[in-house]
């Protein structure tokens, strides 16, 4: 039974769904999902879950880290340089690194952010980008997101380009940050390039290229080695059949109510996931085939 995580270094020009299709073909497996869509032009960490591990995606940490280049002095239809230019303005000549740090300060922490019009956000059951490209007016309400860290890496005053490293919560749009930063500076801005370096707890050094999805295939990351923030409950040989039938398990380990727990089969492999519904009792939430 194939069950685990694969981390791709997504190339530019390919959709996240296209990467999923490549993994399905390589591993001969239909059940493959990704953790967090990347726009076609964005590169970097794209975690994929294979087999029963697809059900574990919501239990991975959601924060993400990016390296972004922002072009000042331009406004586009998509808030990046792939869109149609709506406005060009000179970059303030006095602008320096200290000014940029001051301008970035209001974005750090928890803020309300309006997603780009051309985005995957659902509006009335349809994607916002589909409506926008059909010429319909899309009014997306702001959403609460968090920028844990925004570091200014470099500033090229001659070209109006700044490089940032950004750590943020799930659901954050770096294109929106570029747009809003440009508005605050009075000259407009758009995202020039973006690379994701960390997502769902996986980092770039753990990734493989699409070209690597040939025999011998890259080994998958074991969910037990990935979900280290969750406690483990080990089944005894006599518990296995009951677990497979969805029977509540007893645990002597004191755990808080609502705590999710990974359940490990006697052979040391993942047997599923349970939740503490009452003191000392684990209610099965996911029961994987024995020996997964």
- For residue 248, what are its two tokens? 């509540």
Length of the chain: 292
User: In a 3-state reduction of DSSP, which class is residue 178?
Assistant: helix
Instruction: List Cα–Cα distances, 225 to 4, 60, 231, 262, 290, in angstroms.
Output: 10, 12, 12, 11, 18
Using alpha carbons, select from 23, 28, 68, 75 the residue that is nearest to residue 46.
23
| CB-facing half-sphere around the CA of 262: CA atoms within 13 A | 22
Longest dimension (CA), the chain: 74
The full 3-state SS of 63-118, as one line of letters, equals CEEEEEEEEECEEECCCECCCCEEEECCCCCCCCHHHHHHHHHHHCEEEEECCCCC
User: In a 3-state reduction of DSSP, which class is residue 186?
Assistant: coil
What's the whole-model pTM score?
Answer: 0.90
DSSP notation for 200-229: TTEEGGG-B-GGG-SSSPPPPBPHHHH-TT
Using alpha carbons, select from 226, 185, 222, 235 the residue that is nearest to residue 72.
185
Alpha-carbon gap, residue 66 to 168, rounded angstroms: 8
Alpha-carbon gap, residue 28 to 213, rounded angstroms: 11
Reading the chain (292 residues) residue by residue, the pLDDT tens digits are: 799 999 999 999 999 999 999 999 999 999 999 988 898 899 999 999 999 999 999 999 999 999 999 999 999 988 999 988 999 999 999 999 999 999 999 999 999 999 887 665 545 555 544 544 545 556 678 999 999 999 999 999 999 999 999 999 999 999 999 999 999 999 999 999 999 999 999 999 999 999 999 999 999 999 999 999 999 999 999 999 999 999 999 998 899 999 999 999 999 999 999 999 999 999 999 999 864 4
In the residue annotation, 239 being an active-site residue is answered as no
Alpha-carbon gap, residue 255 to 258, rounded angstroms: 9
Beta-carbon contacts of residue 78 (< 8 Å; ≥ 6 apart): 84, 116, 117, 118, 175, 190
Catalytic residue among 9, 39, 79, 180: 39
User: In a 3-state reduction of DSSP, which class is residue 126?
Assistant: strand
């Amino acid at each position: 039974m194939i069950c685990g995580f694969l981390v791709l270094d997504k190339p530019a020009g390919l959709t996240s769904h296209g990467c999923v299709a490549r993994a399905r073909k390589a591993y001969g497996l239909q059940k493959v999902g990704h953790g967090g869509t990347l726009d076609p032009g964005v590169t970097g960490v794209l975690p994929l879950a294979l087999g029963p591990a697809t059900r574990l995606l919501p239990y991975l940490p959601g924060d993400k880290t990016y390296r972004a280049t922002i072009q000042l002095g331009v406004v586009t239809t998509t808030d990046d340089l792939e869109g149609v230019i709506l406005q060009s303005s000179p970059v303030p000549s006095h602008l320096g690194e200290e000014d940029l740090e001051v301008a970035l300060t209001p974005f750090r922490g928890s803020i309300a952010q309006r997603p780009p019009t051309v985005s995957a956000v659902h509006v009335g059951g349809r994607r916002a980008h589909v409506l926008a490209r059909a010429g319909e007016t899309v009014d997306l309400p702001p959403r609460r997101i968090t920028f844990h860290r925004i570091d200014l890496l470099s500033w090229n005053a001659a070209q109006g380009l700044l490089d940032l490293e950004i750590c943020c919560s799930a659901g954050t749009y770096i294109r929106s940050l570029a747009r809003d930063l440009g508005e605050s500076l009075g000259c407009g801005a758009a995202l020039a390039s973006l690379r994701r370096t960390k997502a769902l707890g996986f980092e770039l050094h753990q990734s493989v290229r699409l070209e690597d999805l040939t025999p011998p295939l890259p080994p998958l990351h074991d969910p037990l080695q990935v979900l280290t923030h969750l406690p483990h409950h080990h089944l005894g040989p006599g518990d296995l059949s009951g677990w497979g039938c969805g029977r509540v398990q007893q645990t002597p380990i004191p755990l808080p109510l609502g705590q999710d727990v990974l359940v490990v089969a006697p052979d040391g492999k993942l047997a599923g996931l349970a939740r503490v519904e009452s003191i000392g009792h684990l209610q099965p939430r996911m029961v994987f085939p024995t020996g997964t």
